[in-house]
Amino acid sequence: MDCIFCKITQGEMPSKVLFEDELVMVIMDANPNVDGHALIIPKKHYTDYLDLDEEIMAHIFAVAKKMGPKIMDKLNAQALTLVVNYGNSQVVKHFHMHILPNYHGSNNLATKTVGEIYDILKD
């Protein structure tokens, strides 16, 4: 299988990791839509949300509950959007959840490099 997210979770490709445990990784999106755009990726390959078992689904949402407020706080975001794409809108066919901070009074576009945002968020 030639899955970019499998390669990232197996350490075969570099990524800016914000969080990792035995089940998932949270990484910075390499092509962010907005500053702080992160992805929660299961380490096991699941094609889409229909493949997820209850345990991993609950764990992904628990990680989102932990990481979302942290990202909002560190980047002074006023809101947050969680997105899961399915079907043709799912570009990488490995389940992942997008964490997208929302900023009041701005056009919500990425204005800094991934490295600059990672330096603010890491720890």
| Catalytic sites, residue numbers | 96
Length of the chain in terms of residues written: 123
Alpha carbons within 13 angstroms on the beta-carbon side of residue 22 total 1
Q: Using an 8 Å Cβ cutoff, are 98 and 39 in contact? A: yes
